[in-house]
Amino acid sequence: MGRLANKIAVVTGANSGIGLASAKRFASEGARVFMTGRRPRELDAAVAEVGNGARGVQGDIANLADLDRLYEIVAAEADRIDVLFANAGGGSFAALSEITEEEYERTFSTNVKGTLFTVQKALPLLVDGASVILTGSTAASTGSPAFSVYGASKAAIRSFARNWILDLAPRRIRVNVLVPGPTSTPGLHGLASSEDERRAFVAAMEAQVPLGRMATPDETAAAALFLASDDSSFVNGSELFADGGQAQV
Ligand SMILES: NC(=O)c1ccc[n+]([C@@H]2O[C@H](COP(=O)([O-])OP(=O)(O)OC[C@H]3O[C@@H](n4cnc5c(N)ncnc54)[C@H](OP(=O)(O)O)[C@@H]3O)[C@@H](O)[C@H]2O)c1
């Protein structure tokens, strides 16, 4: 029996990187997985890669009508959610003097507003005792040059988990934050604007990690699986750092 046998899981931001690797892990452990993302072609390819009855639902988590549609589909086809991985997110580099209103709105709309309503609108479908996983970042607890808007948005995620476990206590719903360190995903590599910048950026990241390298998306997905499964049945409101030690030193 898989560790998520007969579970219904929703993974946002599942057409790439950490979300896609997690959808694969969840499905291979027996879950029926609903996968989301904005880009339809990438979503179709990701759903085919995951297989095992995975279902793609295209949408933007910052758009509340898209979230309503997602959960209408889950309600019609599955009736409940056992595991919600609110993972979709992203950011971009801008030093304090260069931050624009547009950059601020884009980052906070996705990472903060989008995560909040992804979880709120799932509440009627979440079973009592469900596992909710939010994706944080080491950028919430350490400083990085030109990354303050992203770091602040992920600090909000940490705060959401601490507070929501109290709001959801009567239903025994667990909420935890998965904190990836540098993970080799299209999203991370896409932060650089040229190949030279990307190489320098990766080398600088690796130098900050005591294990001396970035994580693979599947290593981060293994931590997501732990939080999704009953193996973490008494882990609640915590931050699980899968960061190679980056934020611990
Ligand atoms: N990679 C790292 O080193 C690292 C470290 C710490 C935290 N994280 C966090 O991990 C999560 C996954 O990132 P990743 O590295 O796997 O990046 P990625 O490869 O770019 O994946 C991001 C996923 O989120 C989706 N997404 C982004 N904005 C969305 C929106 N508004 N609505 C719906 N889906 C949206 C993307 O699909 P579409 O573009 O098609 O919508 C994609 O599926 C993010 O929350 C990120 O902040 C990553």
DSSP state of 214: P
Spatial contact of 83 and 10, defined as CB atoms under 8 Å apart = yes
- The CA 62 to ligand 1 mean position distance, Å, reads 13
Residue nearest to atom 25 of ligand 1 (CA): 13
Residue 248 placed within a domain: no
> What mean pLDDT value characterizes the chain?
97
**Domain match, 82 and 143 both:** yes
Distance CA 112, CA 133 (A): 14
Domain span including residue 206: 187-214
Q: What is the reported pTM?
A: 0.99
141 pLDDT higher than 90: yes
pLDDT single digits (tens) 196-246: 999 998 999 999 999 999 999 999 999 999 999 999 999 999 999 999 999
pLDDT at site 1: 83
Residue nearest to atom 36 of ligand 1 (CA): 13
pLDDT single digits (tens) 1-46: 899 999 999 999 999 999 999 999 999 999 999 999 999 999 999 9
53 pLDDT higher than 90: yes
**Domain match, 57 and 91 both:** yes
Spatial contact of 134 and 89, defined as CB atoms under 8 Å apart = no
Residue 3 placed within a domain: no
Closest CA to 93 of 103, 81, 106, 85: 103
**Domain match, 137 and 23 both:** yes
Tally of structural domains, the chain = 2
DSSP H helices, the chain, are 17-28, 40-50, 64-77, 101-108, 115-120, 148-167, 186-189, 195-208, 217-228
**Domain match, 201 and 104 both:** no
Q: At what angle do helices 40-50 and 17-28 cross, to 10 degrees?
A: 30
Give the mean model confidence (pLDDT) for residues 44-56.
98
Residue 249 placed within a domain: no
35 lines ligand 1 (CB under 6 A): no
Local confidence band at 71 (pLDDT 50, 70, 90 cut-offs) = very high
pLDDT single digits (tens) 73-106: 999 999 999 999 999 999 999 999 999 999 999 9
61 lines ligand 1 (CB under 6 A): yes
pLDDT at site 133: 99
pLDDT at site 184: 98
Q: Which residue in this structure is represented by tokens 């990766």?
A: 202
**Domain match, 95 and 197 both:** no
